[in-house]
Structure 1
Amino acid sequence: MTHFVTSIPAPHVDLIAEDGQKVPLSDLYAQRPLLLQFSRHLGCVFCIDHAKQLLKHYETFTRHHLDVALVIMGGAEEAKTFREALKLTFPVFGDPDQSVYKAFDVPRGNVWQVAGPQLWWDGLKALTRSGIGRPRGDLMQLSGTYLIDTNGQIVWDFRPSSSVEFPNIDEILVAADTLTPIADA
């Protein structure tokens, strides 16, 4: 489900960078609005495919004054391995205890939402496009997408109802383009 939010402050949390250092989330949106994508478990075929889609559209995001960051359920080494394996040009951060997922209230699913038969066809298509990894982490965790302006406000989010759902790239760009000049400063 996609919706705009008004003046909801982003949580004050730290992410784990590839070098193992803690990075305050606020550092990531200090200069430009941030598209913050939470991945499902490591190995999720849909998330691998979506990360590749974010990469494919990364230059478009930057033209729309957005930075992009991906959060995974792993530590520094897993973040580095994930970024390198997919040749991502945007940063990947770890959240091994899922405390940042919880702070953002990223939804969790049930068996039907993460592996039900209605997802199999989309899963096969994603597998064909992007391959699969070994499942690691909370298999019931869904993804989440958040747009944070430079004032630290969550101005748009997408919380899926199943593991196959991700926001349309155009919806993200429309949301980014509605940010006020103050937020883009």
Structure 2
Amino acid sequence: METNILYTHKDLVEKSKSGDRNSQYRLYELYVDAMYNISMRMLGIKEDAEDIVQDSFVEAFKNLTSFRYESTFGSWLKRIVINKSINYLKLKKIPVTPLDQHEYHIGEEVSEPVKSNDINKVKNAIKILPDGYRQIISLYLIEGYDHIEIAEILGITVSTSKSQYHRAKKKLIEIVNVL
């Protein structure tokens, strides 16, 4: 029997739509850790990430009737968490630096590659990155969004997303090499 991935946890979602608190709690338990990790990677502050995740679940359960199985519940919820995290950063006035008026030539020069056993160095380096860079790195490398999607999410141009990503990657490599 083949199952469609879009309908993962459909019974819990449907019961939650009708207000079943036990089903809502079960969905919360299934997704809270992943959503926290997403928000934490973007915000870098434990308490802020926890607040964003709680707000995201509240919003998701309030608007569950608009969920139409066009994506998985997890990806729908992930989008809410990312949008709330970005809005929080905007409220804190942490801008993504627009680079449209500048032309940057970024070569493929990379210092020595990061070895797989240095993953902790990379994780620590990402935490050290400035917020705007950490945002781009998280959305592109970790969450898997492309530059068109990032531009849409952040309200910037595609070229700004690409420039920010390359600058963030360069800064990340510098930090990893120092650690």
Question: TM-score when scaled to structure 1?
Answer: 0.21
Q: Identify the structure with bigger relative contact order (alpha carbons < 8 Å, sequence gap 6+).
A: 1
More strand by share: 1
Q: Which has the larger radius of gyration?
A: 2
